Chain A
Amino acid sequence: MIQNYLTIALRTLRRRRGYAFINIAGLAVGMACCVLILLFVRDELSYDRHIPDAERVVRLQTAWGGFSLPSTNLPMLRAVEDAYPDLLVAPLLNWGGRVGYEPAGGAPVQFQEDDLFLVEPSFFELFGFEMVEGTADVLDEPNQVILSESAATRYFGDAALANREVLGQTVRLYNQIDATVAGIAADTPAQTHFNAEVIASWSTLQAATQWEDNASTNNNGVYTYLRLPEGTSPADFDAELATLIEARFPGDDWNGSTLTAQPLLDIHLHSTHDMELGANSDAAYVTLFLVIAGFILLVACVNFMNLATARSADRAREVGVRKAIGARRGQLMGQFLAESVVLTIVALVIAVTIVAAVLPTFEVFAGRPIDVSLLDLPVVGGILGIALVTGVLAGSYPAVFLARFRPAQVLRGSFRSSTQGATLRKGLVVFQFVVSAGLILATLVVYNQLQFLQSTSLGFDQERVVVVPAGTPGELQLTAFIDALASQPGVAHAAASSEPFPSELLDGTGTFFEVPDPDAVDRWVPTRTISVGHGFFETVGVEMAHGRGFDRARPADSSGFVLNETAAQQLVELSEGRASTMADLIGMRIGSQGVGPLLGIVKDFNMSTLHEAIEPMAFYVDPSDYSHVIVRLEAGDPAPALASLRATWPQFFPEHLLEVAFADQGFVAQYAAEARLGRLFLAFALLAVAVACLGLFGLASFTAEQRRKEIGVRKVLGARVLGLVALLSRETAVLVAVGFGLAVPLAWLGMSRWLDGFAYRVEIGPGTVAVAGLLAVTVALATVSVQALRAATANPVDSLRSE
Chain B
Amino acid sequence: MIQLRGIERYYSSGFVKTYVLRHVDLDIAEGEFVTIMGPSGSGKSTLLYILGMLDGTTSGTYEFMGERVDKMSERKRTDLHKRHIGFVFQNYQLIDELTVYENIETPLLYQGVKGGERKARVAAMLDKFGIVAKQKLFPHQLSGGQQQLVGIARAVVARPSLILADEPTGNLNSAQGEQIMETFAKLNEEGTTIIQVTHSERNAEYGNRTIHLLDGKVVPETQAQL
Contacts and interface: CB of A to CB of B under 8 A. Distances in A.
Contacts of B55: 406-408
Given A326-B158, A406-B55, A408-B54, A4 B106 contact: yes
Contacts of A56: none
A331 B78 CA distance: 12
B19 interface: no
A325 B98 contact: no
A411 B55 CA distance: 11
Contacts of B107: 325-326
A406 B158 contact: no
A326 B95 contact: no
Contacts of B158: 325-326
B78 A4 contact: no
Contacts of B78: 323, 326-329
Q: Chain A: interface secondary structure? A: helix
A317 B94 CA distance: 10
A8 B98 CA distance: 7
Interface string A407-420: 11001100000000
Given A326-B78, A326-B110, A321 B49 contact: no
A320 interface: yes
B82 interface: yes
B216 to A, nearest CB: 15
Contact of A4 (B45, B102, B111, B154): B102
Contact of A322 (B45, B49, B106, B111): B106
Contacts of A8: 95, 97-98
B95 A407 contact: no
A498 B78 CA distance: 86
A328 B110 CA distance: 8
Contacts of A11: 97-98
What band does the interface of chain B fall in when counting residues whose beta carbon is under 8 Å from A? 20 to 34
Given A11-B97, A317-B93, A321-B93, A327 B110 contact: yes
Contacts of B87: 324-325
Contacts of B49: 407-408, 412
Nearest to B50: A408
Query: Which residue of A12, A321, A326, A408 has the most chain B CB atoms within 10 A of its CB atom?
Result: A326
Contacts of B95: 8, 318, 321-322
B89 interface: yes
B75 interface: yes
A4 B109 contact: yes
Interface in B75-100: 75, 78, 81-82, 86-87, 89, 93-98
B21 to A, nearest CB: 12
Contacts of B74: 329
Interface string A302-331: 000000000000000110111111111101
A8 B75 CA distance: 24
A709 B96 CA distance: 26
Contacts of B155: 325
Contact of B93 (A7, A324, A327): A324
Contacts of A407: 49, 54-55
A321 B150 CA distance: 14
Nearest to B55: A408
B3 interface: no
A15 B81 CA distance: 32
Nearest to B52: A324
A1 B105 CA distance: 10
Nearest to B79: A328
Contacts of B161: none
Dominant SS among interface residues on chain B: helix
Given A8-B95, A331-B110, A325 B82 contact: yes
Interface in B81-136: 81-82, 86-87, 89, 93-98, 102, 105-107, 109-111
Contacts of A328: 75, 78, 110
Contacts of B45: 412
A323 B81 CA distance: 10
A74 B155 CA distance: 90
B46 interface: yes
Interface in B162-210: none
Interface string A1-35: 10010011001100100000000000000000000
Contacts of A12: 97
Contacts of B97: 7-8, 11-12, 15
Nearest to A8: B97
A326 B93 contact: no
A433 to B, nearest CB: 34
Contacts of A4: 102, 105-106, 109
B93 A320 contact: yes
A506 B52 CA distance: 85
B54 A323 contact: yes
Nearest to A3: B109
A17 to B, nearest CB: 14
Contacts of A329: 74, 78
Contacts of B154: 325
A411 B93 contact: yes
A7 B78 CA distance: 24
Contacts of B54: 323-324, 406-408, 411
Nearest to A5: B109
A261 B16 CA distance: 78
A795 B165 CA distance: 41
Contacts of A327: 78, 110
Contact of A408 (B46, B86, B98, B111): B46
Contacts of A322: 95, 106, 110
Contacts of A326: 78, 81-82, 107, 110-111, 158
Interface string B47-71: 0010010110000000000000000
Interface string B27-49: 00000000000000000011001
30 contacts: A1-B109, A4-B102, A4-B106, A7-B98, A7-B102, A8-B95, A11-B97, A12-B97, A318-B95, A321-B93, A321-B95, A322-B95, A322-B106, A322-B110, A323-B54, A323-B78, A324-B87, A325-B86, A325-B106, A325-B154, A325-B155, A326-B111, A331-B110, A406-B55, A408-B46, A408-B54, A408-B55, A411-B54, A411-B93, A412-B45
Given A321-B93, A326-B158, 15 more contacts: A4-B105, A11-B97, A12-B97, A323-B78, A325-B110, A325-B155, A326-B81, A326-B111, A327-B78, A329-B78, A406-B54, A407-B49, A408-B49, A408-B54, A412-B49
Interface of A: 1, 4, 7-8, 11-12, 15, 317-318, 320-329, 331, 406-408, 411-412
